[in-house]
Structure 1
C-alpha cells in the first residue's frame, strides 16, 4: 500500500513541474512581442471586427 502512495506523490510532483514548464514557456512567448507588434495586432482585430458589422 505504501508503494502506491509513493507513485501517486511522484506523479503529482511531475505534474507540477510540467505545469510550471508550460507557464514559463508561455511567459517567454508573450515577452517576445514588442509594443509595436501588440499595437499592430490590436489595430488589425479592430479593423476585422468593424468590417464584420
Structure 2
C-alpha cells in the first residue's frame, strides 16, 4: 500500500512537469508570432507608459 502512494506522487509530479512544458511552449509560440515592427511598437508603448508613472526628478 505504501508503494502505491509513492507511485501516485511520482506520476503527479511527472504530469506537472509535462503540463508546465506545454504552457511554456505555447507562450514561446505566441511570443515568436510577433513581427519585429510589432515588438518595437509594444516596447515603445511600455517605455512611454513607464515614464509617466515616475516623479519628475527621477526620469532618465
TM-score band (shorter)?
0.7 to 0.9
Equivalent residue runs for 1:1-53 within 5 Å:
1-50=2-51, 52=52, 53=56
Larger relative contact order, structure 1 or 2 (CA cutoff 8 Å, min sep 6): 2
Q: Which runs of 4+ in 1 moved over 6 A?
A: none
Structure 1 gaps, min length 5: none
* Higher percent of residues as helix: 1
Normalising by structure 2, report the TM-score.
0.75
Normalising by structure 1, report the TM-score.
0.83
Structure 2 gaps, min length 5: none
Does the residue aligned with 2:34 lie in a helix, a strand or coil?
coil
